[in-house]
């Protein structure tokens, strides 16, 4: 804990993020409008975040529907987002991925074709491309330099959605490249933390690290207590009947079953590691990772014009 606290005390990006939240909490015009779209097939929440003044918008963590048995993709989830964007007359400037997801395929290329916007992810995606490029024995034509994306965010980088301020925070642990995006007073935290009654994301994928995840979460929970947190997934929790995906820093610090203020780093690592060893791989990890490290594009078609998803046997 001492190390983490010392690091946070010298954290310029976090300090800037905290100031941003305070400004937005005090002034409604600096807060974005947010719509969440829940995909029950993969328990994923996608968001459209927009500036009411300029109607500029970002789409975060979209889902392409994928039927594993037939290998068929469809656009129902993405079309719901397109409908919302059109009805509200929004201009999409960003298509943001919090990380290379292992449980669903991104619809970002489809949305980009229909709506425009720059496709962005954290700059450490290159490390994820390296690890999974090897696992899937991707050829040299698979670039491991992040060039499939239009923009690679770095820790502390600022951006805007219309007049609303944003700042990107690197929060590795679930994967090396996870980012959280703070927009006004709302943080889109990807797969770091889940609802207080469910806990945290797993840290056992290739390149994941439970200790790093704890430090990333504590960093996020050093934002002001009123910071709104929007999660990438919800699985309900024992005793809860409805899906939920919005909470606050204050609520997480008091109530999160894995990382409230009373839990130490070592206790978390012990709990996370033993729990992860009991979890099966996500059903869609093979197609998801292969497509998402390519910016949501299918692998190059073979000579017959068909794209194939590979399954490495006995490798994961």
Q: And the tokens for 100?
A: 């290379």
For Fe ion, give the closer residue by CB, 56 or 191. 191
CB of 215 to Fe ion, least distance (A): 18
Q: And the tokens for 127?
A: 């490390």
Task: Using alpha carbons, select from 31, 33, 36, 63 the residue that is nearest to residue 47.
Answer: 36
For Fe ion, give the closer residue by CB, 50 or 99. 99
- Alpha-carbon distance of 68 to 285, in angstroms, equals 11
With contacts defined by CB under 5 A, name the span among 43-51, 84-92, 128-136, 184-192 that binds Fe ion.
184-192
Q: What is residue 103's DSSP assignment?
A: S
Q: How many CA atoms lie within 13 A of 164 on its CB side?
A: 31
Q: How many CB atoms lie within 10 A of CB 24?
A: 24
With contacts defined by CB under 5 A, name the span among 161-169, 188-196, 240-248, 292-300 that binds Fe ion.
188-196
For Fe ion, give the closer residue by CB, 101 or 219. 101
- Alpha-carbon distance of 95 to 102, in angstroms, equals 18
Q: And the tokens for 264?
A: 């130490």
For Fe ion, give the closer residue by CB, 101 or 144. 101
User: What DSSP line would sit under 246-289, residue for residue?
Assistant: EEEHHHHHHH-TTTSTT--HHHHHHHHHHHHTTPPPPTTHHHHH
**φ, ψ for residue 243, nearest 5 deg:** -75, 145
Please pick, from the candidates 51, 124, 155, 191, the single residue that binds Fe ion as defined by CB under 5 A.
191
CB of 193 to Fe ion, least distance (A): 12
CB of 46 to Fe ion, least distance (A): 13
Residue nearest to Fe ion (CB): 191
Site for Fe ion in 195-214 (CB under 5 A): none
Q: What is residue 64's DSSP assignment?
A: B
For Fe ion, give the closer residue by CB, 61 or 157. 61
Number of residues in contact with Fe ion, rule: CB under 5 A? 2
With contacts defined by CB under 5 A, name the span among 45-53, 93-101, 163-171, 284-292 that binds Fe ion.
93-101
With contacts defined by CB under 5 A, name the span among 33-41, 185-193, 251-259, 297-305 that binds Fe ion.
185-193
For Fe ion, give the closer residue by CB, 101 or 170. 101
Reduced to 3 states, what is the DSSP secondary structure of residue 193? Answer: strand
CB of 195 to Fe ion, least distance (A): 15
Site for Fe ion in 97-126 (CB under 5 A): 101
Reduced to 3 states, what is the DSSP secondary structure of residue 187? Answer: strand
For Fe ion, give the closer residue by CB, 101 or 228. 101
Contact positions toward Fe ion, by CB under 5 A? 101, 191
């Amino acid at each position: 804990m001492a190390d983490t606290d010392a690091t946070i005390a010298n954290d310029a990006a976090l300090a800037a993020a905290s100031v941003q939240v305070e400004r937005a909490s005090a002034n409604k015009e600096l807060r974005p409008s947010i719509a969440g779209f829940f995909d029950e097939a993969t328990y994923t929440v996608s968001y459209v975040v927009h500036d009411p003044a300029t109607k500029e918008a970002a789409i975060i963590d979209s889902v392409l529907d994928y039927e594993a048995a037939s290998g068929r993709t469809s656009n129902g989830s993405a079309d719901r987002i397109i409908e919302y964007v059109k009805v509200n007359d929004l201009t999409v400037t960003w298509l943001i991925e919090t990380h290379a997801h292992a449980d669903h395929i991104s619809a970002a290329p489809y949305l980009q074709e229909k709506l425009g916007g720059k496709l962005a992810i954290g700059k450490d995606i290159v490390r994820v491309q390296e690890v999974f490029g090897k696992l899937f024995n991707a050829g040299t034509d698979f670039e491991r330099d992040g060039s499939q994306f239009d923009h690679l965010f770095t820790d502390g980088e600022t951006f805007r959605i219309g007049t609303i301020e944003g700042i990107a925070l690197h929060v590795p642990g679930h994967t090396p490249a996870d980012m959280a995006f703070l927009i006004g007073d709302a943080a889109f935290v990807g797969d770091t933390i889940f609802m207080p009654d469910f806990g945290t994301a797993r840290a056992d994928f290739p390149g994941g690290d439970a200790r790093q995840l704890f430090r990333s979460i504590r960093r996020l929970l050093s934002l002001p207590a009123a910071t709104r947190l929007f999660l990438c997934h919800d699985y309900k929790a024992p005793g809860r009947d409805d899906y939920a995906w919005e909470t606050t820093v204050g609520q997480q610090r008091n109530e999160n079953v894995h990382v409230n203020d009373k839990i130490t780093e070592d206790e978390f690592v012990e709990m996370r590691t033993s729990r992860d060893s009991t979890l099966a791989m996500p059903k869609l990890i093979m197609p998801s990772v292969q497509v998402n490290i390519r910016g949501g594009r299918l692998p190059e078609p073979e000579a017959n014009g068909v794209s194939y998803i590979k399954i490495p046997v006995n490798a994961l």
